[in-house]
A and B are shown apart, each in its own frame.
Chain A
Amino acid sequence: MSVNSEYFTVPELEAKAKELRRTVVNMVYQAKSGHLGGSLSMVEMLVALYYRQMRVDPKNPKWEDRDRFVLSKGHTAPAYYAVLADKGFFDRSALLTQYRQLNSILQGHPDCKKTPGVDMSSGSLGIGLSTACGMALGAKRLGKNFRVYCIVGDGELNEGEIWEAIMFAHFHRLDNLTVLVDKNKMQNDGLTSEVMDMDELDDKWRSFGWSVYHVDGHNIQDILTALNQPSDQPKVIICDTIKGKGVSFMEMNIKFHGGCPTKEEYEQAMKELA
């Protein structure tokens, strides 16, 4: 089965990340809607997963033994769609013509019935990690060896269901599950430290029995190293990131949590990402 047949070096993956950021800004600008900040913060995480780590086959998106991915923070779909299109799950022209539009395969939030390559619908925060637990449990009960990866937001960790899922994954020994937390330190209303402070995050996950790693979420090599650490428990990689990463005036600017750039801002962003 063909899986990531093309090998990318880390510098190549870094170049890929920059290219994807341009696509993401373009998508949101074209759609006049979408969540830029949290899309830009998780680009390296997606690159590490989809260009190195995960066994997927864009020509056979429903391959039963593929690794699964759940974007629990579903509002940051632009980065996810950009990766899926670049991998060849669907035509990349859809990114600029269909995202958030009527009759589209690219809904505002991921839809597994509409978008090739999307393994699980998401959007309502807190649910995605539960579904990832179900996938990982299913692999075990069906005797399959695929792995399940899930990206959650740090704001999303406010949800009680997340902690139910964390408890569940440990109790059911889901060592085939890896969670990446996009710790970009902002949520809808502002800084997570001011809306609902969740620190110390590492201790919280560790106390639930998970293997905890903490990395610079914009360092692809560090993410890959953590992904490949063996663990007999479910694993979480807390990725320290910068919301809006890559565009100076979007970084840690709450305006770009869900705001669309003006024409001038768009042009400036594309210059910075050139």
Chain B
Amino acid sequence: MVRSFRDALSRTLLQIAEEDQTVIVLTPDLARAVRIQDFSAKYGSQFVSGGISEANLVGVAAGLASVGMMPIIVGFSMFVAEKPFEQIRNIIAYPDFNVKIIATHGGICVGKDGATHQAIEDLAIMRILPQMRVFAACDVSQTESLIQTICSSTGPSFLRLGRDEAQDIYENDGCITNVGGADVLRDGSDVAIVAIGTMVGNALQAAEELEKEGVDAAVINAYSLKPLNESLLLSYFDRCGCVVTAEDHLVAGGLGGAICELSAKKRVIPVECVGVMDRFGESGNQAELYEKYALTPQAIVAASRKVMGRKHECE
């Protein structure tokens, strides 16, 4: 089934606000755009309209957290993660405030709005911040679970969602998440495909294609980018001997960067990164953009073939 990230967001925030009166949701004039207008109507006393002033909104969230509330900032990733980066660094992450940032519109999947609205650096800049935890959801069930997970743990967290709909990966709303967790969605021993967010579905499709060629690919959803589930990943590095990463994000600094760092430090194995290559996006629909920017199942298949051919380099 194909369902919307943003509808899941609204539904889950309503549940959380109902259970915890200290929850307070802030948005920079994007309540309609992220579809939480139901929330603002029903829980006005737990909602803050910030206007189009993201830097201030981050500071306000810090102040709210300092007096005992749990602020959840919701908006487009470009504007709630990238624009107020310095504020997030100095007044959320550094003082370790219990502020959650839930960012929709992560990646070039944003589509027709074009490059200015396509956050392809957000995972990288959030991941380098000490004390910040970083997550990305691949479908509706995982969105709901990750919102519960970040809200039930103390400290700053960043959760990235896609813009539109996603094919269900987890059946019957059965996704369970943990801080530092990762899910093996498909076991395999020839190549480990590590994917995140909207690329998890494409990774699974790639694995099916590879199976037709007799390649046994594992698919791991590394939804907790920080902390990363290193032990699980290392066990698949050992089993498969090579890795492909897949993300709708620059390959530098995001999941690709994280996996290259882990590999370089702990296991010397070949890594190929599927993602946006040191360039900005443009307008187009998601399918067209994924084709042009090589974020398709076919691109993951090609990267898998290539990385398997490089195993001898590390022998």
Contact = CB atoms under 8 A, between A and B. Distances in A.
A139 interface: yes
B68 interface: yes
Nearest to B49: A171
A84 to B, nearest CB: 17
Contacts of A165: 56, 59-60
A113 B130 CA distance: 15
Contacts of A191: none
Contact of A137 (B51, B60, B86): B60
Main SS at interface, chain B: helix
Given A68-B67, A113-B95, A138-B68, A130 B59 contact: yes
A64 B68 contact: yes
A139 B67 contact: yes
B53 A135 contact: no
B66 A123 contact: no
A129 B56 CA distance: 8
B90 A137 contact: no
Given A121-B90, A131-B66, A161 B60 contact: no
Contacts of A70: 63
B230 interface: no
A133 B53 CA distance: 13
B45 interface: yes
A179 B215 CA distance: 66
A130 B58 contact: yes
A124 B66 contact: no
B3 to A, nearest CB: 32
Interface string A111-134: 111000001110110111111111
B62 A120 contact: yes
B45 A127 contact: no
A161 B94 contact: no
A112 B24 CA distance: 22
Interface string B80-103: 000000110011001110000000
Interface residues of B, number: 31
A134 B64 contact: yes
Given A121-B94, A127-B90, A127-B91, A134 B55 contact: no
A161 B59 contact: yes
A161 B60 CA distance: 11
Contacts of A274: none
The interface centre, meaning the residue of A112, A120, A141 with most chain B CB atoms within 10 A of its CB, is A141
Contacts of A123: 90
Contact of A135 (B24, B57, B64): B64
A141 B96 CA distance: 22
Contacts of B66: 68, 112, 119-120, 131, 134-135, 138
The interface centre, meaning the residue of B45, B64, B68 with most chain A CB atoms within 10 A of its CB, is B64
B69 A141 contact: yes
Given A121-B94, A124-B86, A142 B69 contact: yes
22 contacts: A68-B67, A70-B63, A112-B66, A120-B63, A121-B95, A124-B87, A127-B59, A130-B56, A130-B58, A130-B62, A131-B63, A132-B63, A133-B56, A134-B59, A134-B65, A134-B66, A138-B63, A138-B67, A144-B67, A161-B53, A167-B51, A168-B53
Q: Which 3 pairs of residues, A with B, have the shortest CB-CB distance?
A: A134-B63, A130-B59, A164-B56
Interface of B: 22, 24, 45-46, 48, 50-51, 53, 55-69, 71, 86-87, 90-91, 94-96
Interface of A: 64, 68, 70, 111-113, 119-121, 123-124, 126-139, 141-142, 144, 160-161, 164-165, 167-168, 171-172
